[in-house]
Amino acid sequence: MGGSVTKPFHALVHLVRKPHTVKIPYEKHTDMLGTELPTERYRGYHVNDIEACIGCGFCGRICMNAAITYVEIPELKGVTKGLPKRPVVDYGRCCFCGLCTDVCPTKSLKLVPKYNYVDEDKNTFKVIASPLLKKNDGVKISRDYLVFSIDDLHEKLGDYIDEIIRKKEEEKKKKAAEKAKAKKENAKEEDKSKQEKS
Ligand code: SF4
Ligand code: SF4
């Protein structure tokens, strides 16, 4: 009863709430490159951190539109965690519900407020979401990400995978050097304590 008496006043709360809409032309959202974007929460292209993604397949399994398939990237085997496959999104089927990003266990998959829905070539809408490779490659999205056509996948991913391999090898070398240094220091300490005892 009390609720129904106060109910008409609940609407007044909206007078002081921040609106969900953007006041164009007074408000603008831009990415770091200055490109104008829709609202921050707009669901556009997917971006995926290929290094963090583990190829688990959850995103494809949850998608009710069968918009996600996977591409095998054998070069990733042993270089990154999980399976060497990564999601490919077909924007001819996707409805931007965001379920795939919700279930992603590594949180590598995200939707960003950037889009392009007009093109004569249907392959434009099949993309692998990936981190930034080189500036000017494909479509720039917010921060360090871009999307490119599946047709260019191996050519463009090549450099990125080489970079991951190089990084991992450097890390390995660094760890081995640190281990060797620690071993040498331990041996020195042992020698010193032996000398002191004798
Ligand atoms: S946003 Fe929704 S429809 Fe699009 S790929 Fe993800 S789960 Fe499928
Ligand atoms: S994007 Fe996420 S859910 Fe999809 S395969 Fe990669 S880790 Fe799994």
Please, what is the average pLDDT of the chain? 75
> Sign of the CA dihedral 192, 193, 194, 198?
positive
Domain membership flag for residue 55: yes
Domain membership flag for residue 104: yes
d(CA 167, CA 78): 13
Domain membership flag for residue 25: yes
The atom of ligand 2 lying closest to the CA of 60 is 4
Q: Is the pLDDT of residue 176 over 80?
A: yes
Domain membership flag for residue 29: yes
**Mutation pick for ligand 1 pocket among 94, 102, 109, 127 (CB with most ligand atoms within 8 Å):** 94
State the average pLDDT over residues 182-189.
90
Tell which wins on pLDDT, 163 or 123. Answer: 163
- Ligand 1 near 146 CB (within 6 A): no
- Report how far Cα 5 is from the mean position of its chain's Cα atoms: 48
Tell which wins on pLDDT, 176 or 194. Answer: 176
Domain membership flag for residue 88: yes
Report the run of H or E that residue 58 belongs to, with start and end.
Answer: helix 58-62
Domain membership flag for residue 114: yes
Protein residue with least CA distance to atom 5, ligand 2: 55
Domain membership flag for residue 105: yes
Contacts of 4 (CB under 8 A, 6+ apart): none
Expressed as residue numbers, the domain containing 138 is 20-189
**Mutation pick for ligand 2 pocket among 45, 47, 48 (CB with most ligand atoms within 8 Å):** 48
Token digits for 17?
A: 């709430």
What CATH code is carried by the domain that includes residue 69? 3.30.70.20
The rounded Å distance from CA 37 to ligand 1 centre is 21
Token digits for 186?
A: 């331990």
Q: How far is CA 151 from CA 4, 77, 163, in A?
A: 59, 21, 21
For 82-115, what is each residue's pLDDT tens digit?
998 888 888 778 899 999 999 999 998 888 777 6
At residue 141, the pLDDT reads: 35
- Ligand 1 near 112 CB (within 6 A): no
Beta bridge partners of 148: 128
The total of structural domains in the chain comes to: 1
- Ligand 1 near 109 CB (within 6 A): no
Domain membership flag for residue 71: yes
Protein residue with least CA distance to atom 4, ligand 1: 94
